[in-house]
Amino acid sequence: MKIEIIKCLQDNYSYLLIEKENNYACVIDPSESDPIIKYIENNNIKLKFILNTHHHFDHVGGNKYLKKKYNSKVIGFKKDKDRIPEIDICLDDKETWKNEKFEAKIYHIPGHTSGHICYHFFKQNILFTGDTLFSLGCGKIFEGTYEQMFSSLQLIKSFPKDTKIYCGHEYTLKNSNFCLKYDKNNSALKEKILLVKENLKKGLPSIPSTLQDELNCNIFLRSKDIETFSKLRDLKDNF
């Protein structure tokens, strides 16, 4: 299975998961269709599935056109079926979805939105976290409560430490400034920042991260209790 990172809009990432033997692919969170079509056409990909983590425009913007063009199936959270454009397959919390060689378990992780989910491709141990967990940050709480976001992050913390984290945006460098301000003596964080800067300088994404890196460096995952977490989330909103 190959993962192609596709830059979309300003700072979004969509991801193509490609099965090598037949070029079947899933796209995760197509913000827009053009950059994805470009890759698909250049590489002879057959887009079978469109997977959404949540209903925000910058994650579903390409659904309609891609579905129409490639006859793909749109997949999303059951309870968000009225907000995910063109949804075909509705999945429930902790359901495992399997088709062709693609196999992922989904988890409901509310907070950023009430219907946010993540996709764990457990065989490859990769996790698509949308706008819930970013590298060195977490999503804004738009629809949920601090408690929900905190417990969604706790759930993510329980995945294997070598899980590769693919999130919805390239916010890592901006996030790192916040982490550093409130976690000055974290040497793992400082090392991570050097690597991130090196990648970005070369025009490469800072993604994927690993859960281990995030556990070591991400101040929101390092928050021990809901009070600390909530305070940091407020501070970040005004950072």
Site residues, Fe ion (CB under 5 A): 58, 131, 168
Given 29, 108, 116, 131, the catalytic residue: 131
112 flagged as catalytic: yes
Least CB distance to Zn ion at residue 86 (A): 18
End-to-end, the C-alpha distance of the chain in Å comes to 38
The alpha helices in the chain, defined as continuous H runs, are: 34-43, 57-60, 63-70, 146-157, 172-182, 187-201, 211-217, 219-222, 226-237
Catalytic residue among 29, 116, 169, 213: 169
Of 48 and 55, which has the nearer Cβ to Fe ion? Answer: 55
In 3D space, the residue among 183, 30, 53 whose CA is nearest the CA of residue 111 turns out to be: 53
Which residue in 29, 55, 58, 213 is the catalytic one?
58
Is 183 marked active-site? no
Distance separating alpha carbons of residues 52 and 227, to the nearest angstrom: 31
Q: Does 56 help bind Zn ion (rule: CB under 5 A)?
A: yes
- Quick one: 56 or 192, whose CB is closer to Zn ion? 56
108 as an active site residue: the answer is: no
Residue 9: CA atoms inside 13 Å, Cβ hemisphere, count? 17
Residue from 54, 55, 108, 120 carrying the catalytic annotation: 54
**d(Cα 6, Cα 233) in Å, to the nearest integer?**
28
* Closer residue to Fe ion in complex, CB, 46/174: 174
10 Å Cβ neighbour count for 47?
24
For residue 131, indicate whether it is catalytic. yes
Q: Which does 192 bind (CB under 5 to 8 A by kind): Zn ion, Fe ion, none?
A: none
Query: What Rg value do the Cα atoms of the chain yield, rounded?
Result: 17
* Nearest-angstrom CA–CA distance, 71 and 10: 27
State yes or no: is 56 an active-site residue.
Answer: yes
Stretch that binds Zn ion, among 30-38, 49-57, 79-87, 154-162 (CB under 5 A): 49-57
Catalytic (active site) residue 120: no
Cβ–Cβ under 8 Å, residues 13 and 168? yes
Number of residues that bind Zn ion (CB under 5 A): 2
Q: Which stretch binds Zn ion (CB under 5 A): 51-59, 149-157, 186-194, 218-226?
A: 51-59
Write the CA distances from 113 to 64, 119, 165, 182, 216, integer angstroms: 21, 16, 19, 26, 26
Query: Which is nearer to Fe ion, 137 or 168 (by Cβ)?
Result: 168
**Residue number, 131 or 170, with CB nearest to Fe ion:** 131
- Which residues from 81-140 bind Zn ion, rule CB under 5 A? 131
> Which residues are designated catalytic?
54, 56, 58-59, 112, 131, 169
User: Which residues lie near Zn ion (CB under 5 A)?
Assistant: 56, 131
